[in-house]
Structure 1
Amino acid sequence: MSRSEKKDMLLKVAEQLFYEYGFRGVGLKQIIKEANVANMTLYNHFASKEKLVEEVLKQRENRYWSYLDSQITFDSDSPFIQAVEAHGCWLKKESYKGDMFLRAIADYAGADNEIENIARGHKIKLLNYFQKIAQIKDEKMEQDLAHQFTLLLEGATSMTTLVGAEKATAYSLEIARKLVEETD
């Protein structure tokens, strides 16, 4: 396995373990063992567990935005609905147990590191994303609409742990359609 393949394996295993057991519930030894790499391999790529967590969050965020962007046509009739549908698919595949970014905020709040900033930044980007859609669609009250859709997706993400991704998505789509109708 090449150096970059080993790093990719470490990131993949770390993300899976952090998602399943939480950031505090997983140690570096477990990641090293499940990634089947030497101790030094991990430390050659990441100076600390916090640096590994940062990279996992950045990688997950990049995948999320790439996925969302690939599913939305900004000049379509309803990019808002497309965003809710795409987010619902993401929940079903990637976030069926809740939001990794919210977990990071909870686990690392006030820890004076970059982890909380990355996680909070992800939430701010979601709001900015909906502001961009509202501006492109020339919506009245674009700030309100962006906040409403951000809250809608965050609520769907949280509800996934209670009712499952399919129901959370169905409920959020119902609300999204009403919001879009109000702005027409």
Structure 2
Amino acid sequence: MSQSIKKDTLLEVAESLFYEHGFRGVGLKQIISEANVATMTLYNHFLSEDKLVEEVLRRREERYWSYLDAHVEKDSDSPFILAVKAHGCWLEEQSCKGDMFLRAMEDYAGTDNEIETIARGYKMRLLKYLQQLAQRKGKDNERDLANQLTLLLEGTTSLTTLIGAEKATEYSIAMAKTLVQNTS
């Protein structure tokens, strides 16, 4: 197995375990065992568990943005609705048990590391993305609309754990239509 395949395997296994059991509920020995690699392989790629978590979050964020970009036609009549639908599909396929970035912010709050910064950066990037969509569509008060839509997506993520992604997305699409109609 090549080094890049081993690294990818480590990252996939770590993400899966972190998502399923939380960042604090998984040890490096479990990741090494389930990835079927030597301990030195992990340390050759990651200097510490924090560095592994950082890379897991960066890769997950990269996948989210690729997913969103593939589903949202920014020049369409309703990019906001497309963004809500895309987020709902992401939840159904990749994130039905909650928000990994929020978990990271909670687990690593105040620990003076890059993990919390990466997670907060993702949230800020989502807000900025929606604000840019609002500007592109000529919406008045684009900052308020972006905040409202971000809150809507965050709520959809939370509600997914209770009622499922499909139903949560259905509600969020209806709310997004109302929000967009009420802004000029």
- TM-score, length of structure 1 as denominator length: 0.99
Matched, 1:161 2:161: yes
The residue number in structure 2 matching 1:42 is 42
Query: Where do 1:110-149 residues align within 5 Å?
Result: 110-149=110-149
The residue number in structure 2 matching 1:29 is 29
Alpha-carbon deviation of 1:183?
A: 2.0
Alpha-carbon deviation of 1:41?
A: 0.2
The residue number in structure 2 matching 1:175 is 175
Query: Tell me, what secondary structure is at the counterpart of 1:183?
Result: coil
2:123 alignment partner AA? K
The residue number in structure 2 matching 1:101 is 101
Unaligned ranges ≥5, structure 1? none
Distance 1:85 1:13 in 2: 28
Matched, 1:15 2:8: no
Query: Where do 1:49-60 residues align within 5 Å?
Result: 49-60=49-60
Distance 2:19 2:56 in 1: 10
What root-mean-square deviation, in Å, do the aligned CA atoms of Structure 1 and Structure 2 show?
Answer: 0.6
Distance 2:10 2:38 in 1: 11
Alpha-carbon deviation of 1:153?
A: 0.2
The residue number in structure 2 matching 1:87 is 87
Unaligned ranges ≥5, structure 2? none
Distance 1:7 1:126 in 2: 28
1:150 alignment partner AA? T
Distance 2:134 2:181 in 1: 14
Distance 2:151 2:81 in 1: 14
Distance 2:113 2:159 in 1: 29
Alpha-carbon deviation of 1:24?
A: 0.3
Distance 1:59 1:92 in 2: 18
Task: Return 78-87 or 162-171, whichever deviates more.
Answer: 162-171
- TM-score, length of structure 2 as denominator length: 0.99
